[in-house]
Amino acid sequence: MDIVYIRDLRIETVIGIYDWEREIRQTVSLDLEMGTDIRRAGETDSIEDTLDYKSVAKHLIDFVEKSEFQLVETLAERIAAIVLNEFGVPWMKLRLSKPGAVTGSQDVGVIIERSQ
């Protein structure tokens, strides 16, 4: 299986459990690996024959910007469902981080793998 990926996609959203977090927008960062077969696209050189990472990114940006979850775990599961179900990806790995959430750390978050 080949992998199409997106690294460090930064999106502003409402995320967190504390009252002050519910009143502001914070940045989350996505690293996404999506299993696919790129051989046909390699032969035809046509966007129709591959997983269009720009379409995936635009859809996720729109979804995450409009979302208001308390937990990064919930957001990660919703993102996984979108990628698997709406883009026909058989396997994906997501690293979802929340920069600055813990003093002294670069970021915190979750890493999940899901498949159809």
Please list the active-site residues. Answer: 98
Beta-carbon contacts of 86 under 8 Å, excluding residues fewer than 6 positions away, are 59
Q: How far apart are the first and last CA of the chain?
A: 14
Beta-carbon contacts of 41 under 8 Å, excluding residues fewer than 6 positions away, are 47, 49, 50
C-alpha separations of 70 from 15, 18, 81, 87 in Å:
5, 8, 18, 26
